[in-house]
Every structure is written in structure tokens, then in C-alpha cells.
Amino acid sequence: MNVPPVRQLPDVAFDAATAARPLDWVGMQRIALPLRIPGPGGDSVLVSAWADVFVDLRDADARGIHMSRLYLRLQDALSSEAITPAGLRRVLQDCIDSQGGLSSAARLVLRYEQLLKRKALSSEHAGWKTYPVEIDATLRDGHLALTLAFSVEYSSTCPASAALSRQLNAERFAEDFATAHPLSTGVVRDWLASERGLAATPHAQRSRADMRLTLRPAFDRLSIEHFVDTVESALGTPVQTAVKREDEQAFARLNAENLMFCEDAARRVAAVLARDAHVERFDVAVAHFESLHAHDAVARVSGQGSP
């Protein structure tokens, strides 16, 4: 029986580079893969994610890297256990090792949506919210650099508009009761509950805070929920999921208790991140999508985390 000879497939990646120069990063973007993340109650869940993976090409004479090795190693590497700083370090080191000496550094960017269950403000209901998340991890010379980016939506009520509305409400009260003497609590209460008792309302709008945090990787878990809860608590008015009338009323009260310009919102978020032991550095951008203007009000702040 004649055995056909094994075909030798050409591999031009091993040809000499036309212009000898090392490259900072070479790799692939938007790889679809499963990612296991921490879930509620200590369990883990599998989500759909997009990955960018790169290695450096330190050999100036090498034409290219082994991209298929990166792809094959990445496909199942992050689905077996919930993502952690230690797990990211192992994956990145494997990416470097896969190149057979061509590379000394690796970078992995993961993008997905974190689904968190949020309780209603007053009723017994709850609902799910998604938060866009990006994890950017780089391993170079044994040092793991880890960056987390995520966004939180909230409501912002303008303090200036609230003050102007209170003035109009006070003027109408004075007008309607200019000759009413004496005034009883019941009469005033009924007036406040009527349409006449609301001469103006302050403008409010949906708003968003975008955070990019440089993390200290020396901890066991990578809890997105921890950071989301921290920021939402600082802002006081996160957008809601399940809403009954009692929840809407509670939300209106929270907005009145948390009047804020975009400057106020940025400072609130910065204050809590500066005290977080997981954070080495933070960059925050807030945007209030104005209902008064056709443009947005924005503020940015950066700083160092807790030493």
C-alpha cells in the first residue's frame, strides 16, 4: 500500500522581515469567546464576551507572530473558572510562552455586559440591569497591570432649577393666601397637594458616569458589583428597574435629597474611589444629558486611590 507523502505547507511567517524592527503589539481584536465571571451568591456565571489579545514582537528579524496559537489558547482559557487577577496572569503568561521566544509581553482586553439584580426602592420587586465592563490586563517583565472600566447611569436634578422652582412655588403661595388669616395646617396641606401647589418643577435628566480604574492586582477577586455599588451609593439616584408607585415616589424623594450639578457628581464619585483600597488610580467622566439645553454638561476628574 502506497502511503502518500506528507505535504509540507508553506509558512511565510518565518521569512525574514523586510524591514528589521521590533513591534509594540501584534494580535487580534473582537474575538468572540465565553467568559466566566463572579455571579450572585458566590456562584459564577458564563457570559458572552469580546476579546482583544496582543503580544509584542521583540525579535526585530521575525516577520510575524503565531496568531493561531493565541486564538486557540484563548478560546477556552477563561470559561473554566471565574475571572481573577491570578487567572489573568496565567492566561497572559501562556500567551507569551506560546510564541517560542518571540515575545516578552502580552495584553488582553475583555468586554462584556455585567448583569446585576437591583432591588426596588420601596416595593418588594426587583429587576435586572446591565453594566458595560472592560477589563484591560497587561503582563510585562512579570508585572501585571490591570485596568477596569465600567459605566453607571443615574438621575440628576439641577440645583439651580430647583431653587428657581422653589421661588415660584413660594410666590404662588403668597399670592393665593395673601388675605387668608389665620392659616390652618390642613388648608396648607390641601393646597400643596393640589395643582396650584406646584407652580414649577426643576429639570432632571438621565446621566452617566464612566469610570476607568487602575487596580492593585494583589487581591483574590475581581468584583464588578463592589465598584458599581460603591458608585451608585455615592450618587444616590441610580436609574431603577422594577418601579411601582411607591418606588417612583421614593425615587422623587431621592432626587430632591441629591440635587447635583455635573461637578457635584464627579466629586462624589472621586471621593469614594479615593478611599477604595483596590484602586491605585481613577479617571472619572460624568455627563448630564440636559433636558434644558440641546447640549450635555460634562465634568472629568482623576486622582490616586487609598495608599
Q: If DSSP codes are grouped into helix, strand and coil, which group holds residue 152?
A: strand
Q: Is 11 exposed, middle or buried (0-12, 13-18, 19+ CB in 10 A)?
A: exposed
pLDDT of 60 strictly over 60: yes
| Distance (Å, whole) CA 134 – CA 149 | 5
The CA-atom distances, in angstroms, between 285 and each of 10, 107, 112, 135 are: 50, 25, 20, 17
Q: Residue 63 above 70 pLDDT? A: yes
- On the question of a cis peptide bond just before residue 22, with omega within 30 degrees of 0, the verdict is no
* pLDDT grade for 7, boundaries at 50, 70 and 90: confident
What distance in Å separates the CA atoms of residue 19 and residue 25, rounded to the nearest whole number? 16
Whose grid coordinates read 440641546?
294
Alpha helices, H only, 195-300: 224-235, 245-257, 262-274
Residue-wise pLDDT for 90-134, tens only, equals 999 999 999 999 999 999 999 999 999 999 999 999 999 999 999
Evaluate if pTM is beyond 0.85.
yes
Whole-Å CA distances, 185 to 3, 175, 182, 190, 191? 103, 17, 10, 9, 10
Say if residue 18's pLDDT is above 70.
no
Domains and CATH numbers, the chain: 21-158+203-304 (3.10.270.10), 162-197 (no CATH)
Percent of the chain with pLDDT over 70: 95
Contact 238, 153 (CB under 8 A): yes
pLDDT tens digits for 148-183? Answer: 999 999 999 999 999 999 999 999 999 999 888 888
Sequence-distant (6+) residues with CB within 8 A of 2 are none
